[in-house]
Amino acid sequence: MYRTKDGEEIFVIDSHVAIWDASKENQLNVHGEEFIDCFYDYHQISPDEYIWAKDHFLKYDPETLVEDVIINGYSDMAIFQPVMLSEFYKNGFANFHAVDEILKKHPDRFICNGLFDPRHGDRGLADLEVLVKKYNTKGVKLYTADWYGDSKGYKLSDPWAYRYLEKCQELGVKNIHVHKGPTIRPLNRDAFDVADVDDAASAFPELNFIVEHVGLPRLEDFCWIAKQDKNVYAGLSVAIAFIHQRPRYFAEIISELLYWLGEDRILFGSDYAIWEPKWIIEKFIDFEIPEDILKETGVTFDLNVKKKILAENAAKLYNIDIDAQKEKLRHCELASKVISSPEKVLS
């Protein structure tokens, strides 16, 4: 919980976190090393005091994540967005063993989304159903540039992708988080193109398509699509990290999103562990859009808007009653650790 100097409690849901295993032991080939090295390059955007040692970045334990995201990171809840990358890592990139451990200890704090690759055919459909039942998930994370055999990506408009989206509807999985942002070595940049979101969102109006990383570097394309498709949302992870080194760039991004989508379809995500949420949230709460941009766009970016972005919009998608959840979390195992931290009260 973030508390203002006036004592107001701001509920926070980090809608994009991960716990991965990119250790040397799990790397299947040179591509596994290339991928995590690219992540680590992005990590350098962090303030100096939040930059991790490389070995720690490759694989971290559940206790580290809980401390960084919940205890010190202001987040009341967080959503795991797992990624396969089975062509790069022996056991896959997502560390589901660690996820299971965290969910067992802190079931009211974390949600684990599923994942699928439509190129897996009927076998993948069965695997998706197992994941949904295991985690009781209401969302999936898709990586359209993931490699599979000789294929270096797929589109949401592919026939098999439609089969999987139909399966999601059948299973009650309504939140489709899609990585449509910067490429990561050695993946193909064009396979992250945002254009296929338009096709899928129009074909499946009952599903919510959360475009992670807001389509960067294709922000304009994304905004035009999201303007017409009201079931398309903006996931701020990656984009929000520029608030530190490139504050005006972030101001341009958030103002465009508010102008085209409005304040009800933007979700906060830190993309932990590329970046820690603590410094991002602190800067976001204090951030103001420059006057010249406000004058041009006419958007509002006050504390009420920030509260929607930090939790309320994600809560609606995942059917979370924030008031009820606050009461539940006051009595959870981590409550005393979070409340006792003097760093929680900021100006």
**Is the pLDDT confidence value at 339 over 70?**
no
Rounded to the nearest integer, the mean pLDDT of the chain is 95
Provide the pLDDT for residue 239: 98
Cα 147 to Cα 197: distance, rounded to the nearest angstrom: 19
Provide the pLDDT for residue 335: 80
Nearest to 231, CA basis, from 258, 203, 253: 203
Which stretch of DSSP H or E encloses residue 251?
helix 247-260
Provide the pLDDT for residue 342: 39
Reported confidence tier of residue 331, pLDDT bands at 50, 70, 90: confident
Provide the pLDDT for residue 330: 87
**Is the pLDDT confidence value at 346 over 50?**
no
Sheet containing 110-112, strands listed edge to edge, beginning at the edge strand earlier in sequence: 13-17, 77-80, 110-112
Its pTM stands at 0.95
Nearest to 252, CA basis, from 311, 207, 296: 296
- Note the pLDDT tens digit of each residue in 216-238: 999 999 999 999 999 999 999 99
- Note the pLDDT tens digit of each residue in 79-122: 999 999 999 999 999 999 999 999 999 999 999 999 999 999 99
Reported confidence tier of residue 333, pLDDT bands at 50, 70, 90: confident
* 164: CB partners within 8 A, 6+ apart: 116, 118, 124, 125, 128
- Note the pLDDT tens digit of each residue in 285-301: 999 999 999 999 999 99
Reported confidence tier of residue 28, pLDDT bands at 50, 70, 90: very high
Query: Where along the chain do its domains lie?
Result: 2-344
Reported confidence tier of residue 245, pLDDT bands at 50, 70, 90: very high
The superfamily CATH assigns to domain 2-344 is Metal-dependent hydrolases (3.20.20.140)
**Is the pLDDT confidence value at 341 over 50?**
no
